[in-house]
Amino acid sequence: MKRKAHLFGIRHHGPGSAALLKGALDALNPACVLIEGSPEGDALIRHAALPGMKPPLAMLFYAADEAANAVFAPFAEFSPEWVAMQWALSHDRPVRFIDWPAAVSLALTRITGEETLAAVEKNQPEVPDVDEDDLAESPDMTAVETPPVDLDPLDMLAAAAGYGDGETFWNGLIEQHGGGQSPLEIFAAIETAMTETRQHQAGAGGISEARWLREERREAFMRGHIREALKQHEGEVAVVVGAWHIGGLRAETTIAEDRAIIKDLRKIKVEATWAPWSDGRLSYASGYGAGVISPGWYRHLWSLYSSHRHEGPEAFAAIWQARTAALLREEGFDASTASAIEAARLALGLASMRGLGVPGLAEMQDAALSSLCHGDHVKLAMIERKLYIGDRIGEIDEAVPQMPLAKDFELWCRKTRLKPEEAAGEVKLDLRSEAGLLKSTFLHRLNLIGIHWGRLTDAEAGRGTYREIWRLAWSPDMTVGLAEALVWGLTIEQAAAAATIDRGRKANGIAPLSDLVRGALVADLPEAAGVCIDLLQSAAVHNNDITDLMNAVAPLVRIVRYGTARKLPELELQALVRALSAEVNAGIRIGSRQLNDDATSQRVSAMRAYDEALGLFGDAALLEEWRRQLALMVDDEQAVAPVVGFSLRRLHDLGLWDEAQIAAAFSRQILGEMPDRAGSFIEAFLSGAAEVLIQDQTLLFLIDEWLCGLDETLFINNLPLLRRAFAGFDTVGRKRILERIAGGKKQRPVAADAVKHNPAFERALPLLKQILGMDA
């Protein structure tokens, strides 16, 4: 009789499947264990037994010449594949992966990408295929190839068994009954059911030809490995695969037939390493095709199955509800121990009513909602991330060889005491402290190589410029970023410097160069900063785009302000700011004529940033010339209206023109002008604050008079501009403006000028004007 391997059909990341598999391996005691997965991971298996390997973890496979072309194979502690590896290593049995190589799947990804790009260039729509194999999705996350199918095999089985959907069916029969069963009998039943269902699915046209070909090729590789193992080992051979594949692996094919179907597949060179993974990326909500709804719940189930104490469903329910109560208390809600006990009892009661031996996730949720949250879904939603998804990120043992950048990243994490966490968190850094400056340098360098673990939300908070506020959120995908950055160097510092210089040489325009200069300096990369400064100076000489020049000044001024916290080439930077600002001041008025709408919008935005930066820079001559240009632009009939509106607003805010001058200029811009130009002027003038109109009734009633003079068509045409202008006003500001208009014009009280004769106010006035950036 022909020998056959024992096929164990599992669900990836299923704790019940993992518990059954462990029992089956103990009963079978195989001589060899084969696992669905890319064979390039064989060399990594031995590391799984190291004490420092703490799931969730993933094997990372990436193209040697293009690290962005990568795929992960994730494992949780409750993943059957992980349990199979641990069993084989602990029993000193050979174990290896048998799926098609990552070299093939990544080559196909590259081909698909090239075909899609070619189609786009020809204006032909090319939709990449999608593989949606819920039950038997390989743990690798290869680029997908076939469109979604309508007939899910689990849904078909669920319908036959009287369940509402395949998820509920599989959880009820397998995942929540992972202990106390005869494992070999259960796996035999799974094999029979899934083989029949697969045949029915194929006969009913429930799978596309492209996907069928893909799965046939994968299974041809698997059958080849199984034949080889049966020849090499006299004892039993255990094969751990997604349950859907069992029917294909049992198919009677010849060696020649299997070789024929895979002989023309393209391969590329692939590197493999271990990488930390996370609960969030194990969840189905992350987009992972083989993901589970609740990694946190599955981990709790696994604790029941893997515990040697066998505490039973009572303790199982109590521990979960106690954790629910603790998380609710962390969020500030009342959740007593008595309520947690009541929730556990209710969950057990619901499970009994529904014919379950152990409460499922639905029973636990219903019980918590009733007893701990008193029917308030919001409370449960507040802890959903921590409780149901989980916030664990895996750890790699120090003995495991890693990519140089990944190793350097870990050294930096230990040095800065920053721990990767998937849940977003805020970190406030004081750059005057060595620890704060070190963390800031690390995070800035990571940003330069495209790893945005931290995003700077506020570099100006607190006192002066000594403080940074970062928003941190780690994603396992950033491991691919570390692999990609290897082309720049073997350490974070080397890679960040080389990447900055390369981007500087390829930069188009001086604003990006200015940002790179700032990025290099705050990341403590003086050589890269020097190269970018030279490139910026060279580009500025040949640049006549005023908007581009203004956009370059603002980040440079912010750099200079960091001079007290970091070692910077202040003299060179100050000279560069003065040179750029002189060019801006000389060309701003002529350059603000005949601009289209997009250019105008960009110009006003750049003027706002430039004006603020120049005030911070503190060069009196540059500031005086800039304000003179603002006045000239107000009287320039050819300047575009939004530029005029912004210029007049700044003259008003700085107190450089008196009320009569402002009112006269405002009147000239709206009365008798074309409505479109007048509306654009008003929009730019009013942008940002209602106080201008609340405090200055002359301007308020000039606008009122202009609006009242528009006919219906012109009013409708200007309405969008007015809506945008008033959009920034808060409710209180709008209400006060309406009250002012309803009250009509009023004479200014004579006492209003009395403050000018207040000696205390006069003594404080110079300091107040200095703080506000106004001329003394």
Q: Which of 44, 41, 72, 53 is nearest to 475 (CA)?
A: 72
Task: Tell me how far apart the alpha carbons of residues 548 and 602 are, in angstroms, rounded to a whole number.
Answer: 9
388-392, 422-426, 579-583: which has the minimum mean pLDDT?
A: 422-426
Number of Cβ within 10 Å of residue 374's Cβ equals 11
Indicate whether 427 pLDDT > 80: yes
Q: Where are the domains of the chain?
A: 6-286, 307-389, 404-486, 507-643
pLDDT top residue among 115 and 146: 115
Q: 128-137, 240-249, 370-379: lowest mean pLDDT where? A: 128-137
Q: Dihedrals φ, ψ of 35, to 5°?
A: -130, 140
Position 691 scores a pLDDT of: 66
Q: What is the pLDDT of residue 113?
A: 58
pLDDT of 229: 95
Task: Give me the mean pLDDT over the 78-86 stretch.
Answer: 95
pLDDT tier, 5 (very low <50, low <70, confident <90, very high otherwise): very high
Distance CA 321, CA 438 (A): 42
Residue 328: pLDDT band (50, 70, 90) is very high
Q: How far is 173 from 304, CA to CA, in rounded Å?
A: 16
760 C-beta neighbours (distance < 10 Å), count: 8
Give the pLDDT of residue 772: 63
Q: How would you classify residue 201: left for phi > 0, otherwise alpha for psi between -120 and 50, otherwise beta?
A: alpha
CA 564/CA 431 separation, integer angstroms: 10
Q: How far apart are CA 136 and CA 91, in angstroms?
A: 27
User: What is the pLDDT, as a whole number, of residue 757?
Assistant: 63
Question: What is residue 132's predicted lDDT score, i.e. its pLDDT?
Answer: 35
Task: Assess whether pLDDT exceeds 70 at residue 23.
Answer: yes
Residue 602 φ then ψ, to 5°? -65, -35
Range in 240-254, 445-459, 688-702 with the lowest mean pLDDT = 688-702
Output Rg (C-alpha) for the chain, integer angstroms. Answer: 34
- Report the mean per-residue pLDDT for the chain: 81
pLDDT band at 745 (very low <50, low <70, confident <90, very high): low
Q: Is the pLDDT of residue 114 over 50?
A: yes
For residue 695, pLDDT beyond 50: yes
Q: What is the pTM of this model?
A: 0.66
Q: What's the pLDDT at 725? A: 67
Helix (H) or strand (E) holding 38: none
Q: What is the pLDDT of residue 479?
A: 83
Could you tell me which residues are beta bridge partners of residue 97? 35
Residue 50: the pLDDT is 94
pLDDT at 401: 87
138: pLDDT confidence band, cut at 50, 70 and 90? very low
Q: Among residues of the chain, what percentage have pLDDT more than 70?
A: 83
For residues 701 and 89, the model is more confident at 89
- Of all residues in the chain, what percent carry a pLDDT higher than 90? 29
Quick: pLDDT tens for 260-315.
999 889 999 999 999 888 888 888 766 677 777 888 888 888 888 887 655 678 88
Residue 462's pLDDT band (cuts 50, 70, 90)? very low
The pLDDT assigned to 612 comes to 87
Instruction: List residues bridging with 237 in a β-sheet.
Output: 32
Is residue 453 very low, low, confident or very high in pLDDT (cuts 50, 70, 90)? very high
Average pLDDT on 207-217 reads 84
Task: Name the token pair of 32.
Answer: 């060899």
Q: Is the pLDDT of residue 659 over 80?
A: no
pLDDT at 237 over 90: yes
DSSP strand E in 243-373: where?
A: 270-276
> What's the pLDDT at 134?
38
Q: Is the pLDDT of residue 464 over 70?
A: no
Q: Could you report the per-residue pLDDT of 151-174, keeping only the tens digit for each?
A: 667 777 777 767 767 777 777 777
pLDDT of residue 181: 65
pLDDT, residue 329, reads 93
Q: Are 268 and 106 in contact (CB under 8 A)?
A: yes
Specify the pLDDT at position 633. Answer: 92
Residue 775: CB atoms within 10 A of its CB come to 12
Asked if residue 39 has pLDDT above 90, the reply is yes
pLDDT digits (tens, 9 = 90+) for 336-347: 999 999 999 999
Stronger pLDDT, 730 or 443, i.e. the higher one? 443
Q: Which of 364-373, 415-424, 578-587, 732-741 has the highest mean pLDDT?
A: 364-373
Confidence of residue 91 (pLDDT cuts 50, 70, 90): very high
Map tokens 């188009």 to a residue. Answer: 508
Q: In the prediction, which pLDDT does 635 show?
A: 87
Cα separation, 719 vs 543, whole angstroms: 38
**The pairing of beta strand 467-472 with beta strand 454-458:** antiparallel
